[in-house]
Amino acid sequence: MKICVVGTGYVGLVTGVCFAEKGHEVRCMDIDEERVAKLKRGESPIYEPGLGELLRANLEAGRLGFSSSMKEAIEGARLCFIAVGTPPAGDGKADLAQVLAAADEIAEHIGPECRIVVKSTVPVGTGTLLCRRIRRHLSERGLKNIDLEIISNPEFLKEGMAVRDCLHPERVVVGASSDAARSLMRELYSSFVPEEKILMMDPASAEITKYAANAMLAARISFMNEIAQLCDKVGADVLSVKEGIASDRRIGKYFLNAGCGYGGSCFPKDVEALCCIGESQGLDMTLASAVAKVNRKQKERLHMMMRARFGSDMEGVCAAVMGLAFKPGTDDMREAPSLTLIRGLVNDGAKVRAYDPVAEGAARRLLPASVRFAGNLRELLEGADCAVVVTEWPEFGEIDWEAAGAAMRRKIVFDGRNLCDPEKMKALGFEYYCIGRNMLP
Ligand code: NAD
């Protein structure tokens, strides 16, 4: 099937590459010409395990192409996916500017045989809004009788595992109104998942499903972060509590780790946007608002713990920040807890040194100029007054703390991801602080 994908970010690029991998003829379009040039050379502009190899293989096989021209990319396509960004607007709502711009451009060049699919995360009713908007354009082009339907197909991939998730999704959600659209989407996804995993519903339900999924996952994290605060107050251990509740099948074990808050390009903005969608319907979205509120506070937790240890004047304190990306496996820095922490430390006068296996490039653009970057863990910890674990990269779990402690000026660790064994750290002579385990300064 000939497919056009608009937007080559984490979602658009991975989706386009995976459709090509399944044998479809894919043209990806982006307004960022530098990005397109890079992609044409087979270079991935983002870090995502396995993506580079698949990108190059499908380029070479001639199934995948990139363009900054919509006319070129959409020509002959049967499906056109919109996968552009929907960042938060100042008021928390999803900013639809990229989606509307993409839709306008699509309307200029779309042919009668093509259906539009929205993969971007968008508020309920966006499909209807786009339909009206595109129909207006089409009627200006004299194409009044075109069969226009906007299909909703929200994406659930996880950064860091995006290729695997895209090739082997747990489910595919499709919001469509006509049999023709449903059968086209079934045809596309039949090589990805068995039929029963393609969940057909109306477009509004599909749009809400995406927000509900992210808000539910975010709620589990915020809930455990709140429980962790309580554990710290009463001398309990949040890891034992987690084990105690996760063994209940109704609860399960995923997304129950207390830590220094969730970040990323999705949870923070989607929870806020869900609140706005509810409020626009006269609901006060008590629970979703609380999830966001708990998280905003949790992102300040490490900084507050460090203040409790060093005071609010951190002149002369050299903090070694372990991990910058919002989670392991990605270079995505959007809303990363490391940003809140480092900005706070720099404001308090601390000297900040940071290391991340892949996110340094993205982080440099967002962090204060005074932040120094280390090329590896040894360089990071050399002479530091404290180590601060922010992202749980697997290599941080294997660190030789004895050697690290010998290289540090002071043996102090703030563990924002509960990565270390407190007993071992104490035995090695560390002052060790973590989240919800009754180990606070
Ligand atoms: P992104 O910001 O990484 O990428 C967006 C891309 O779209 C950029 O390359 C940009 O240049 C391009 N673009 C912007 N306007 C355009 C236009 N008018 N025409 C063509 N290209 C245009 O975004 P992302 O992280 O890939 O997210 C895309 C959407 O998918 C968002 O709605 C997001 O909420 C949703 N989503 C993201 C993830 C994730 O893990 N990142 C997961 C599921 C869903």
Q: What is the pLDDT of residues 62-103, one digit of tens each?
A: 999 999 999 999 999 999 999 999 999 989 999 999 999 999
- Section 306-317 average pLDDT: 98
> For 348-373, what is each residue's pLDDT tens digit?
999 999 999 999 999 999 999 999 99
12 lines ligand 1 (CB under 6 A): yes
420 annotated active-site: no
- Ligand 1 atom closest to the CA of 120, numbered from 1: 32
Q: How far is the CA of 293 from the centre of ligand 1 (A)?
A: 25
Nearest CA to ligand 1 atom 8: 9
Domain residues for 139? 2-201
The per-residue pLDDT for 321 is: 98
pLDDT in tens, 40-58: 999 999 999 999 999 999 9
Which CATH number do you get for residue 245? 1.10.1040.10
Amino acid code (one letter) for 112: P
Residue 24 shares a structural domain with residue 90: yes
In a domain, 441, yes or no: no
Q: Which residues pair with 373 in a beta bridge?
A: 354
Name the residue with the closest Cα to ligand 1, atom 20. Answer: 30
Q: What is the pLDDT of residue 250?
A: 98
Is the predicted pLDDT of residue 222 greater than 80, yes or no? yes
pLDDT for 147 equals 77
Same-domain check for residues 247 and 279: yes
**Residue 8: both structure tokens together:** 């080559």
> Which residue's C-alpha comes closest to atom 27 of ligand 1?
85
Is residue 144 predicted with pLDDT exceeding 80? no
Does residue 393 sit within a domain?
yes
**Ligand 1 neighbourhood includes 86 CB (under 6 angstroms):** yes
Q: Give the pairing type, strands 318-322 and 150-152.
A: unpaired
Q: What is the distance in A from the centroid of ligand 1 to the CA of 11? A: 6
Are 368 and 422 found together in one domain?
yes
CA of 36 to the centre of ligand 1 (A): 14
- 434 CB-near residues (< 8 Å, 6+ apart): 414, 415, 416, 418, 420, 422
What is the secondary structure of 84-137 as a DSSP string? Answer: ---PBPTTSSB--HHHHHHHHHHHHH--TT-EEEE-S---TTHHHHHHHHHHHH
Mean pLDDT of the chain, nearest integer: 97
Are 303 and 287 part of one and the same domain? no
**pLDDT of amino acid 63:** 98
186 shares its domain with 216: no
Q: Which atom of ligand 1 is nearest to the CA of 12?
A: 26
Q: Which of these three, 201, 227, 254, is where a domain ends?
A: 201
Domain presence at residue 438: no
Catalytic residue among 28, 114, 231, 266: 266
Helix, strand or coil, per DSSP, at residue 37? helix
335 assigned to some structural domain:
yes
135 with 30, same domain?
Answer: yes
Ligand 1 atom having least distance to the Cα of 101: 18
| Phi–psi pair at 43, nearest 5 degrees | -100, 130
H or E segment at 432? strand 431-434
Pocket test for ligand 1, best of 11, 173, 217 (most atoms within 8 A of CB): 11
Residues 377 and 237 in one domain: no
CATH number of the domain to which 136 belongs: 3.40.50.720
Residue nearest to atom 40 of ligand 1 (CA): 159
pLDDT at 113: 87
Do 360 and 279 share a domain, yes or no? Answer: no
156 and 17 together in one domain: yes
Distance from Cα 85 to the centre of ligand 1, integer Å: 3
Considering 235, 262, 297, which residue would you say is the last residue of a domain? 297
Confidence of residue 156 (pLDDT cuts 50, 70, 90): very high
- Report the domain count for the chain: 3
Domain end among 238, 262, 297: 297
Q: What is the arrangement of strands in the sheet containing 64-67, beginning at the earlier edge strand?
A: 64-67, 25-29, 2-6, 79-82, 115-118, 150-152, 172-175, 198-201
Q: What is the pLDDT of residue 145?
A: 72
Question: Do 96 and 223 have their domain in common?
Answer: no
Average pLDDT on 136-162 reads 90
